[in-house]
Each structure stands twice: as C-alpha cells, then as structure tokens.
Amino acid sequence: MSKTISNKLHAFIDLDGTMFHGSQAIDGADHLIECLQEWGVPYLFVTNNSTRTPQQIAALMGEMGIQARTEDVLTSAQAAAAYIRDHYKDPFVFMIGEEGLQQALTDCNIRWTNDPVVVEQKHIDVVVQGLDRQFTYSKLEAASIAIRKGAASIVTNPDVQLPSDKGISPGAGTIAAAIQAASGVKPICIGKPEAIIMEVALKQLDCTPAEAIVVGDNLLTDIQAGIRAKCLTALVLTGVTSKSSYASYRENSNDLPDYVFDNLEQVRQLFEQIRENNDTERALE
C-alpha cells in the first residue's frame, strides 16, 4: 500500500483473538513467534488485559505452545503504571484492580492503596482503575471523592464488555463509567483504542511509529490504537472481525488498516519478505 515499510520493523501483537482463543492457540501463532525470534525482529505482546501479570500471561501462552517471556508482554496495567510514573511526581495512588495492576504499580515503585478507608485519611494524587471483580460501593465512593478533591482519574482500558463463560460480563470500562458518573470526570484511558499504550510500547522497544506495525483482530481497538499512534497496522481475520464485517466497515470508515491478512502465516510472510529484501540490499552493498 501507500506507506513504505521500514526494514527494521517492530511488531506489537494483540493476544486474545490474534494469538489465541481462550486456552487454544490460533493456527500459526507458534511459528510466527519462532520466526520473529530467529530473525531478530523485536516484538511485544500488547494486551488490554489488566488483571493478569505478565508472568501469568507468558505461562499461559507457554502452555498453549507459544513461546513467550515475561518481558515480551505489555499489559494495559503496566502501561498505566508507566504513564503514572512518567507524569506524576511521587504520587500516592488509589488502586481499583486485580493482581496485574497491583504488581505493575509495585514494579514501578509507585505507592498505592486499595483500601477505601485509607483514601478517607490520606491525600490521593491518582485514582487508577482496571477490571476489579471485587468492586464495591465503598471503592466507588472513595474513588469519586478523591477525584472530586482533585486526584487524576485513569482507567487501564475502556472495554465495557468482557466475553466470559456466562455470556457478556462487565469490563473495566463498565466500572469506569460508574466512577465517571459519580465523579463527573472523564478518565484518561491508557489501553487500546487510545494511543497511550502504543506510545509506552514504542518507548519500551525504543523505535519510532514508522518502524512499528500493530497486529490485531479488532478494528475498533487494535487498528484504531495503531492509527492514532501513527504506526503501521495489520488486521488479521482470526478473531472478532470476519471477512464480511470488514467489508461493511470498509465502506463506512476512513480508518483502514494498512494490511488485511486472513491468517498468521500471511503475517509471517510479510516479515519474511522484509528479511529477504534486507538480505538482497546487503548483498548489493
């Protein structure tokens, strides 16, 4: 397509619907990752999931046969913690979330509490919220009061719907909507479709947007985030987007991905092509 492709392309790869469904690896996921490793292509798994730690995600992927190291995973919780570390000076944080967010804050040396009683007694600089399946009225009240007193409001990811065994369960964005309704403040959103998580990813791999391609199955999250962060984008039809839903989207939107691939083998071939071009260039020098 119109954009030229960098010869040192970095990959930001979505997980759910792109690498796996539930506990089942998607065809070609293992081979794609093996090849990226062999060819020395830098990549990160970029996920809106805020509840799991990168260790847990890497272990789950290992069980599915996809090679993943802890340092290959960037969750919306880690991106939120990095954002807080970089934008607030020694903040005290009220955390509404699960293990993934707790560990991410601790790893960034950020002081935090998840106790609404502490929030009543101490000054809170930032309220950060992810999916919290122990969410209560007390937490909602404490968050709202802290934000009304001037604390920043940050949500890890805007997903309002979470596919689960029971059907569609409430996501982090659903809780964020309650906090916004109570506090009157729209939160800063870190995860896809916002660009912030991709900006953290770019920083982590030390590359420019032109050197990065966002690979994912969701036009409204992965591809949007990639476009907003000015990265290249590749839609894979392995998850939520079908051929026919993409066809109708294409007629109604200008935010189109740079590439559309039916499967992960085609993603692998894109990187193989870049590698072969690099080899040719080197041979000509």
Residues that bind Mg ion (CB under 5 A): 14, 16-17, 217-218
* SS3 category, 129: strand
Interhelix angle 172-183/137-148, nearest 10 degrees:
50
Distance (Å, whole) CA 68 – CA 85: 26
- Give the catalytic positions in this structure: 14, 16
Min CB(214)–Mg ion separation in Å: 11
Q: Which helix (H) or strand (E) holds 277?
A: helix 264-284
Q: Which is nearer to Mg ion, 19 or 274 (CB)?
A: 19
Least distance between Mg ion and beta carbon 156 (Å) = 16
Of 118 and 220, the one with the shorter C-beta distance to Mg ion is: 220
Nearest residue by C-beta to Mg ion?
17
Asked if residue 50 lies in contact with residue 173, where contact means CB atoms within 8 angstroms, the answer is no
Q: Is 276 helix (H, G, I), strand (E, B) or coil?
A: helix
Nearer to Mg ion, 114 or 156 (CB): 156
Shortest separation between residue 239's beta carbon and Mg ion, angstroms: 5
| Rounded Cα gap, residues 116 and 214, in angstroms | 38
Which is closer to Mg ion, CB of 20 or CB of 271? 20
How many Å apart are CA 29 and CA 20, to the nearest integer? 8
Nearest approach in angstroms of CB 93 to Mg ion is 28
Q: Helices (H) and strands (E) in the chain — how many of each?
A: 11, 15
Q: What are phi and psi of 54, to 5 degrees?
A: -60, -30
